Amino acid sequence: MSHDISVLRKFVSPEIVFGAGARKSVANFASNLGAKHVFLVSDPGVAGAGWVGEIVTLLTDAGLRTTVFTGVSANPRVDEVMAGAELYKSSDCDVIVAIGGGSPMDCAKGIGIIASNGGHILDFEGVDTISNPPPPLILIPTTAGTSADVSQFAIISDPDRRFKFSIISKAVVPDVSLIDPEVTETMNGYLTACTGVDALVHAIEAFVSTGSGPLTDSHALEAIRLINRNLEPLVENTADPFLREQIMLASMQAGLAFSNAILGAVHAMSHSLGGFLDLPHGLCNALLLEHVVAYNYRSAEDRFKRVAEAMDIDTRGMGKPEIQKQLMNRIIQLKRKVGLHESLADFGVSVSDIPQLSGFALQDPCILTNPRKSSLRDVQVVYEEAL
């Protein structure tokens, strides 16, 4: 994987406000974007934790009207996007705010696309398919993991095909991302683990991606370092504000890296799993991570050595097989320590599902930037190993 310095790279990101209390500037940003009537997207869990009420109050106190939409599943579905867009239009809204994990944020992106382009969300599958810019979008992540708030991806589930499809466009990079570690304090240890490992996967995949470059590498490596050092203590003590901030920062940096370098086979395979079996995205990534690292290792040995070093492995005097072994062991150990020790079979995946899962994975755009080219058989073997 030679990185020719003459290759042009572009780097997109939203305006970012990072730090405790960042969410409190939501009304200010909405007003600056011309809002009179805000469409607030979230889900029942985030509403139950009290965050939706707080945002509504902040907006109302600033004289803005709000319409709240919380009809979003854990993997946002085509019909939910369309229902949200319908409500957006019938309520005469002009700015979209989303607070939640990846699902409400991706759903909000989809709603914005339909609000300004019409048609059906399935028409926008793929890269750069959006002609009219969506309404202004402000995202407030409640998990430290998915990074939908800084990315040019929206991932939507199509239950009819049992398929998760990707919309990739600068049009879905939000205008503003308010990244507030305080909002993650209502996550439990398990969700903290799943989303933290998701961010680790983002960073590793972005670093070894064929789309990586100097603008993304520094973000990816720093994210790996931060997660490696801080995720285990955070899962043990989810109330620690310093650790929450470190993992939130890592998630943001991993997001900036993968949004611009794109991802790889872990994500292609986990989108397929999530669409086929409706499993949580972070969990799917965690289940597949070390198996894909093993598959990709020989196609990006120098890059994986730097990943190992970012995970505090002292590689001096080690041969390549030894570095690979140490890296795999560290990944497995980290997952175990945060409580993720299951395999695919534990979630009801069977050998008979693999042909269909593999077919979907090869249709995912993330497979294109994977460092090692993948055939149908390759992907089947990696799924088999993850059983």
Task: For residue 262, give the CATH number of its domain.
Answer: 1.20.1090.10
Q: Is residue 177 part of a domain?
A: yes
Residues 277, 129: Cα–Cα separation, whole Å: 27
**What is the span of the domain harbouring residue 354?**
188-386
Dihedral of the CA atoms 186, 192, 194, 200 (nearest 10)? 130
State whether 175 and 255 are in the same domain: no
Structure-token pair, residue 187: 């996550």
pLDDT band at 9 (very low <50, low <70, confident <90, very high): confident
Q: What is the pLDDT of residue 6?
A: 57
The verdict on 206 and 177 lying in the same domain is no
Final residue in a domain of this structure, among 128, 156, 184 = 184
Neighbour-count burial of 24, counting CB atoms closer than 10 A to its CB (0-12 exposed, 13-18 middle, 19+ buried):
middle
Q: What is the pLDDT of residues 320-371, one digit of tens each?
A: 999 999 999 999 999 999 999 899 999 999 999 999 999 999 999 999 999 9
Residues 178, 202 share a domain = no
144 and 161 share one domain: yes
Dihedral angle sign, alpha carbons of residues 44, 47, 52, 57: positive
CA torsion sign, 64 to 68 to 72 to 74? positive
Asked if 307 contacts 331 with a C-beta cutoff of 8 angstroms, the reply is: no
The CATH code of the domain that includes 167 is: 3.40.50.1970
pLDDT of residue 279: 87
Domain presence at residue 58: yes
**Tokens representing residue 75 in the block:** 């993997």
For 83-104, how does the pLDDT look when each residue is reduced to its tens digit (9 = 90+)?
A: 999 999 999 999 999 999 999 9
Domain membership of residue 6 (yes or no) is: no
- For 131-158, write each residue's pLDDT tens digit: 999 999 999 999 998 899 999 999 999 9
pLDDT tens track for 116-133: 999 999 999 999 999 999
Asked, for residue 4, whether it belongs to a domain, the answer is: no
Give, as one character, the DSSP assignment of residue 41: E
Instruction: Look at residue 332 and tell me if it is in a domain.
Output: yes
Same-domain pairing of 263 and 176: no
Q: What mean pLDDT, rounded, does the chain reach?
A: 96
Residue-level pLDDT at 8:
81
In a shared domain, residues 275 and 160: no
**Averaged pLDDT for residues 210-236:** 97
- Mapped onto helix, strand or coil, the DSSP state of residue 239 is coil
Same structural domain for residues 280 and 325?
yes
Q: At 3, is the pLDDT very low, low, confident or very high (cuts 50, 70, 90)?
A: low
Please give the Cα distance from 366 to 106 (Å, whole number). Answer: 17
Domain termination residue (choose one: 161, 184, 207): 184
Kindly state whether residue 248 falls inside one of the protein's structural domains.
yes
Asked if pLDDT for residue 239 goes beyond 70, the answer is yes
Q: Considering the chain, what percentage of its residues have pLDDT values greater than 70?
A: 98
pLDDT of residue 191: 94
Tell me what pLDDT residue 4 has. 53
pLDDT of residue 280: 87
Assess whether 252 and 316 both reside in one domain: yes
Mean of pLDDT values over 39-55: 97
Single-letter code of the amino acid located at 75: N
Total of domains in the chain:
2
Query: Are residues 216 and 174 located together in one domain of the fold?
Result: no
**Model confidence at 5: pLDDT above 90:** no
